[in-house]
Amino acid sequence: MSDKLDELKAILGEVADLGSAAAVLSWDQQANMPPAGGEARGQQLATLGKIAQQMATSEKVGKLIDDLKKEFEGADADSDDAAYVRVAARNYDKAVRVPPEFVAEQAVVTTKAFEAWVEAKGKSDFSIFRPHLEKVLDLVKKYISFFPPADHPYDTLLDDFEPGMKTSDVQDIFNPLRPKQVDLLKKIAKKPQVKDAFLYKKYNEKKLWDFGEEVAKAFGYDFNRGRQDKVPHPFQTTFSVNDVRITTRFEADKPLAMLFSTMHESGHAMYEQGVNPAYERTPLLGGTSLAVHESQSRMWENLVGRSMPFWEHFYPGFKKIFPSQLDGVSLKAFYKAINKVEPSFIRVNADEATYNMHIMLRLELEIAMVEGKVDIKDLPDLWNTKMQEYLGVTPPNDAQGVLQDVHWSYGAIGYFSTYALGNLVSAQLWEKINKDIPDLDDQIGKGKFDALLGWLREKIHQYGHKYDPQDLVQKVTGSRINSAPYVRYLTKKYSDIYGL
């Protein structure tokens, strides 16, 4: 390894340390911090962000990257060092365009916005959040202005979460998918609805928590390198390969959502725990994109956690823990209930057949916001109108409508489409996995997940950010991201459940 690469790794290692420290503060803000600490926390995050930005965009770093790009020109694309230089150069090119003062300002604004969102959601009053969202959107537009004009201004935002993906690419994937999902929903709506009242009885929070952690351990989430905490909106965060944390929440009116949230975040966390340890403190640490990341969480939550084989193994034990709630409920009845298709208000609790419609709604609103075609004050009404148009339901209040997601409070506009893309990737991978592990259902039915996790470690996790998302999906499945496997998966699953 060259001296210049050693020097660059030393500098960017310290930048990574600052990012990890900021991540700890952000985790604490959501998991532990008292409400009054918001302003000080914002300043702390601003300082860390500003210092990291200054270090990452220094002339020295730029010169090292320029020299290393020449040095590694024509190098083997599978080389870790060549990938390091490529990803570092891409990150530098983006970071150098963003002034440190902007990074600091954004940290302050979004920290205040998060606290306002928590209050607004608690009171179901969008007016509390509105002025903060207006500031966040102003900063998002300012951020876009730092970059060369793209085919669409939203491209700049999307590229931060899904490298190389354009707005038109997402629309080309979603546009033919939407009518197919709508058609499936119409067919399901004509069939007798499954019964699921037993899912909404009172379930002990601690028992659900403990059962969820046992499932996570069975999956392969390493609690020696992780932990679970309670937050308003579940997430996973990484401080290092050996400190990957998950969070969940308990909803008394939807108690089992806590269990599936734990499964979901465990999927994210196992991805992070499986990255090559040599990538620690480098730009290669972490998942290659949010779509690929989401493919892991949705796979473990839905393709595994809502499957019949999974519950063939876990249902007897679950029923012993909650005998009164599940008295007289057969395995088949339980399986159908947890897979019930019914348009609902809340994205994170949406069934697989309706989930993507929530994402398409948000994508349309975000694009309109960036284009300046939406006044922030009109968002609640626009949200409700689109919910009625897409899903046939109208949220009764702001908390179950426009305020349900935390993402806009911290400026993550450009993020949502990756959730639906993740669904598509999960099905693409699942088809390949089942070809490579033909007895996978039998293994899951015995509560054994080693082969599945091992496959994911080998094909996806270990590479971290080494390959761009489309290239990784192509490398593993033989095709770029497409919706056909997901449509096949949904059609088969719900044809069996609803007798289509």
The pair of three-digit structure tokens given for residue 275, joined into one six-digit string: 């990255």
Cα separation, 171 vs 360, whole angstroms: 9
Q: How many CB atoms lie within 10 A of CB 397?
A: 16
- Residue 196 CA to residue 349 CA, distance in Å, equals 14
Regarding beta strands 243-248 and 228-230, do their DSSP bridges make them parallel or antiparallel, or are they unpaired? parallel
Q: Please enumerate in sequence order all residues whose Cβ is within 8 A of that of 306, keeping only pairs 6 or more positions apart, or say none.
A: 260, 335, 338, 339, 352
**Residue whose C-alpha is closest to residue 43's, from 132, 97, 106, 96:** 106
CB 208 within 8 A of CB 226: no
Q: Which residue has the tokens 């499945």?
A: 477
* Cα–Cα distance for residue pair 200/392, rounded to 1 Å: 22
Residues in the chain: 500
Cβ neighbours of residue 272 under 8 Å, at least 6 residues apart? 236, 238, 241, 244, 286, 287
CA 285 to chain centre: 16
* CA proximity to 245, closest of 431, 27, 396: 27
Which residues are known to be catalytic? 265
Evaluate whether 48 touches 14 at the Cβ level (below 8 Å): no
Q: Which residues contact 177 (CB under 8 A, 6 or more apart)?
A: 356, 424, 483, 486, 487
CA distances in angstroms from 253 to 156, 191, 259, 359, 394, listed in the order given:
39, 26, 14, 23, 18
Q: Are residues 92 and 61 in contact, defined by beta-carbon separation less than 8 angstroms?
A: yes
| CB proximity list for 305: less than 8 A, separation 6 or greater | 215, 260, 263
Contact 8, 56 (CB under 8 A): no
Tokens of 215: 């499932």
Q: DSSP letters of 385-410? A: HHHHHHHS---SSSTTTTTS-SGGGG
Burial of 25 (0-12, 13-18, 19+ CB in 10 A): middle
φ, ψ (nearest 5 deg) of residue 11: -70, -50
Beta bridge partners of 230: 248
